[in-house]
Amino acid sequence: MNNSWKIFIDLGLLSTALITATFLRARIRFFQRFLIPNALTAGFILMIAYNLLRAPLNLETVRLDNLAYHLLNLSFISMALRKPREKGLRKNGGALPLALGVLTHYSIQAAAGLVLSLLLAATIAPQIFPGFGLLLPLGFSSGPGQALSIGKTWEAFGGRFAGAGSVGLTFGAIGFLWASFGGVALINVGIKKGWITSPHMENILRRDRPGLLPADKKGGIGARLTTDSAAIDSMSYHVAYVLFTYLLTWLALTGLSALLGMAGQIGKDLAASFWGIGFIFCSLVGRLVRAVVSGTGIGYTLDDATFTRFTGFSIDLMITSALGAISFLVVREFWIPILIMSTVGGLIALFLVPWMGSRTFHDHAFGRTLVIYGVATGTLASGLALLRVVDPELKTPIAEDYMRAAGIVFPMAIPLILIIPFPAYAFIRQEPMWLWLAGAGCLFYVIICTVGFLVLRRRDVKSGYWARPIAVDNQVTAEDDVRVQRG
């Protein structure tokens, strides 16, 4: 038999790295103290393996690239297939300020990255490709999967764009480090400065966080069975919906690419960019499928918890494979601009997020600030990991509010994502107009977010880095307890 083992060798190595990382965290306090996700550790293990053992074991990082791309898309589909949350915005502490915070830092990172690209290209790093710095917000605020996806699209342009995918992955990896180490530092500063008043904070920080539940502690119910296993397993049923939706997304993108191709080269380039941001279309098609299923009266057969487990599975594998695909050769070539830009991006998040959060949120300000910081440097998983330090049971409405905020940010960020390839167009076609459009777009978003901050900012705070007073910061109120019990 001549069956191909390549995909299963890659998955086996991914799994080996994840298991190794899990036991490292369970045994070594360093990983517990800094809340480093197992997938991040596994990704670095895999990166070393694929760079050092590539020749003797015939390993190909391009296969990890493909895995990361598809796993990212599948994670967005599984999130979109969940039941939509109740709509509603609360000006003084709900989804709207969270959405503003996320979009603000995404916009500022994009603007800073574009400016730094132009400065470095004109001085110490003439070898960097146009739009190099726009991979900073993709890697930091969107995660390594999206940075890889769009970076690989740029690589198709050839020439100076070679290695764009690995550059995006590197920004994503460094962003996770800022999320972990910077987040824990922010929590410690918050305790010393009295920014957080949770009575259980010291116990939470002293507690070991090995990542594995002890034998005498039972975890929550991870999923609910909605089918008769004699007919079809419940997990098979849910995975089938995810893959069916992915097929519909592929058909939609294929048809859209054919239509855009009729518009000439500009249309073809735009179609290539759409494939790079396929996760957006996956989410849109997923929402449509969920609406149709709910409309036919069988929405009850879809379990949100099962989709959440599938999302976590996809994200863990995606992060591991994405980081494993980083090429040492590319990082070595661009290490100076990567170091400069990632340092600037990390410092912007570390200092601006608390300053802005303390002036925007009216309740649970520090917890909301942690979520935004985690999202602005890593992913939602990073934000939730930091939030669990101060709110272990997630009794506050912060996580729920962020999910609503994501629904606001998603459509508002689409134009910003679409202008990210513009500097590349400017270089390829020798048309500076595209570069000016990218700069104008980033500036427009920064201005809009600034106006939004001025509208939503609190008026009852004193001056200072962390504005005071803050009402009931991160203490679970009776109202929150009632809401959790009802939920």
| 106, 141, 357 from 343: Cα distances, Å | 15, 14, 21
Q: Give the rounded distance of the alpha carbon of 37 from its chain centre.
A: 13
pLDDT tens sequence across 167-209? 888 888 788 788 878 888 888 788 777 777 554 455 455 555 7
Helix (H, G, I), strand (E, B) or coil at 128: coil
For the chain, domain boundaries: 6-206+232-486
407-435 average pLDDT score: 81
Which residues, including other chains, have CB under 8 Å from residue 409's CB and lie 6 or more apart?
A: 99, 102, 103, 106
Looking at residue 8, its amino acid is: F
More confident residue, 421 or 262: 262
Least confident of 22-36, 155-169, 172-186: 155-169
Place of tokens 């994502």: 417
- Output phi, psi for 468, to 5 deg: -125, 160
464-480 average pLDDT score: 50
| Interatomic CA distance for residues 190 and 198, integer angstroms | 11
pLDDT on residue 350:
92
More confident residue, 406 or 476: 406
| Interatomic CA distance for residues 224 and 289, integer angstroms | 20
180: DSSP letter: I
Least confident of 109-118, 216-225, 278-287: 216-225
What mean pLDDT, rounded, does the chain reach? 81
pLDDT tens sequence across 280-317? 789 889 999 999 999 999 999 999 889 988 988 988 89
- In sequence order, what are the beta bridge partners of 462? 468
pLDDT on residue 458:
79
More confident residue, 56 or 244: 244
Tell me the helices (H) and strands (E) count for the chain, helix number first. 23, 0
In the structure, what pLDDT confidence band is assigned to residue 481 with cuts at 50, 70 and 90? very low
More confident residue, 51 or 203: 51
* pLDDT exceeds 60 at position 91: no
In the structure, what pLDDT confidence band is assigned to residue 475 with cuts at 50, 70 and 90? very low
pLDDT tens sequence across 312-356? 898 889 888 877 877 777 777 788 999 999 999 999 999 999 999
DSSP string across 409-468? HHHHHHHHHHHTTHHHHHHHHT-THHHHHHHHHHHHHHHHHHHHHHHHS-SS-BSSSS-B
* pLDDT exceeds 60 at position 27: yes
| Interatomic CA distance for residues 164 and 151, integer angstroms | 5
Residue from 208, 170, 180, 173 nearest 42 by CA: 173
Which pTM value belongs to this model?
0.71
pLDDT on residue 24:
94
pLDDT on residue 425:
81
Place of tokens 């574009």: 114
Q: HEC string of 145-170?
A: HHHHHHHHHHHCCCHHHCCHHHHHHH
DSSP string across 207-238? S---SS--TT----------S-TTT--HHHHH
| Interatomic CA distance for residues 405 and 205, integer angstroms | 28
* pLDDT exceeds 80 at position 20: yes
pLDDT tens sequence across 424-434? 888 888 888 88
Looking at residue 183, its amino acid is: G
| Interatomic CA distance for residues 276 and 283, integer angstroms | 14
Q: Give the rounded distance of the alpha carbon of 86 from its chain centre.
A: 23
Place of tokens 């859209």: 256
* pLDDT exceeds 50 at position 85: yes
